[in-house]
Amino acid sequence: MDVVYLLLLIMIANGAPVLLHYVFNKKFISPIDFNYCLPDGRPLFGHSKTWRGLAGALLLSSVAAVLLGYSMETGFLVAIYSMAGDLLSSFVKRRMGIASSGMAPLLDQVPESLLPAIMLMERFQLDIWSIIIVVSSFIVLELLLSRILYQWGIRKKPF
């Protein structure tokens, strides 16, 4: 059951910024990279990575963890690692010339699910197969939910 709960917490961490963007639109946004550009002229992460999204991921994952019977710290760590993976993806995508919110299959899903699974494998009693299941399931679910959220008008793009 730990595998399912970890997957759920990763989904919550990654979904929180999307939902907060839908609810608040352009309010309370400040880019994590403060609009800093590297010498290549491209942003560090891009305008879609905001402090609001990070705070929402940390808060909602922490609350969800408690509701699932884990500590608040566990939810917080899932969100930290998931958001770190997401920022890593964004950094790599900017270096590749992919615009903010542009799609890069697997690069958009693997780091934000693999990093929390590896870092918290003892806490969630995972083996290598469980990690593969978490990452694979996240890829499929994220792509499906993204399309559904796009159809409902919550997401701007249907990845």
Confirm whether pTM is higher than 0.85.
yes
Cβ-contact 116, 85 below 8 angstroms: yes
Q: What angle do CA 18, 9, 84 make, to 5 degrees?
A: 65
Q: Residue 159 falls within a domain, yes or no?
A: no
The length of the chain is 159
Q: Residue 63 falls within a domain, yes or no?
A: yes
Q: Residue 6 falls within a domain, yes or no?
A: yes
SS3 content of the chain, % helix, strand, coil (to 5): 60, 5, 35
Tell me: pLDDT of 16 over 90.
yes
Q: Residue 158 falls within a domain, yes or no?
A: no
Predicted local confidence at residue 26, as pLDDT? 82
Predicted local confidence at residue 60, as pLDDT? 98
Structural domain range at position 68: 2-151
Per-residue pLDDT reduced to its tens digit, 79-126: 999 999 999 999 999 999 998 778 888 999 999 999 999 999 999 999
SS3 category, 31: strand
- If one counts the domains in the chain, the total is 1
Q: Residue 120 falls within a domain, yes or no?
A: yes
